[in-house]
Amino acid sequence: MELTEPTVWSADRLELGEGARWVDDRLVLVDLLAGRLLTTGGDGPAPLAELCRLDVPLGAVAPVAGRPGEWLAAAGTGIVRLGADGSRHVVADLEGGNPEPARMNDAVADPHGRFWAGSMTYAAKPGGGALYRVDPGAAPVPVVTGLTIANGPAFDGAGATMYLADTPRGHVDRFTVDARTGDLGERTPFLRLDPAKGAPDGMTVDAEDHLWVALWGGSAVRRYRPDGALDREIRLPASQPTSVCFGGPGLRRLFVTTAAYGLTDPGPSDGALLAVDVPVAGRPAAPVAAG
């Protein structure tokens, strides 16, 4: 089936859908505050199936290379390994010592098997969040501090460029990345969005190295060229898009999670998983190196 317009992909409605990733020919996503890891296929609309449920918020996961059913997760106040047998192992507590109540938010693996995870305070205190990098076999290290709500990051195909959003500020910055060490180099402004258009939330980079951004409060997803110019906008029937990824046939189906969180009168598609076909391909989620 071809989806020429954004289509509701499941009857499920999520409080805070997030973390859409295409893994092993299926879509995985989270209902963040509920701590639920969910999955569905890419060929046709279907109910979401629950893979696991945590008793802490679950921001996003990345598959572990060579270990089917195992995930590295940004969860609660740190990094947790989720075993295929249902086991849970806390890798690191990153925000438990934050003077403000805080939690992990978005996270992703880069093309070299490193895991990058952002954080935020529950009150979205300016400067209260950070971005951490987890190298295989090493302890997490903070690499960007002074953030409010870290979203993304998203990497180009070579893993040499990273995009990072600070949602309440409406900022997306671009960093150079040393592919060998993961060290961040030059930081430059990439987008400075008008609040009336929405705030940058989850992001992904397609096979042409263009950046796709979900606009929280903006009812849209936008594609930007590497020079920062707007290439296209897809309007959506939900007001709070939260994350984007490519999957389905030929990796040309764009999946968008949305949230009903905070809405006093949610519409019929708020909190829905949406899908639309686009004329450019994406990439599946990169795995985390087993370490």
Residues marked as catalytic: 201
192 beta partners: 171
Q: Exposed (0-12), middle (13-18) or buried (19+): which is 16, by Cβ within 10 Å?
A: buried
Separation between Cα atoms, residue 52 and residue 287, nearest integer Å: 19
**3-state helix/strand/coil string of the chain:** CCCCCCEECCCCCCCEEEEEEEECCEEEEEECCCCEEEEECCCCCCCCEEEEECCCCEEEEEEECCCCCCEEEEECCEEEEECCCCCEEEEEECCCCCCCCEEEEEEEECCCCCEEEEEEECCCCCCCEEEEEECCCCCCEEEEEEECEEEEEEECCCCCEEEEEEHHHCEEEEEEECCCCCCEEEEEEEEECCHHHCEEEEEEECCCCCEEEEEECCCEEEEECCCCCEEEEEECCCCCEEEEEEECHHHCEEEEEEECCCCCCCCCCCCCCEEEECCCCCCCCCCECCC
Separation between Cα atoms, residue 114 and residue 168, nearest integer Å: 26
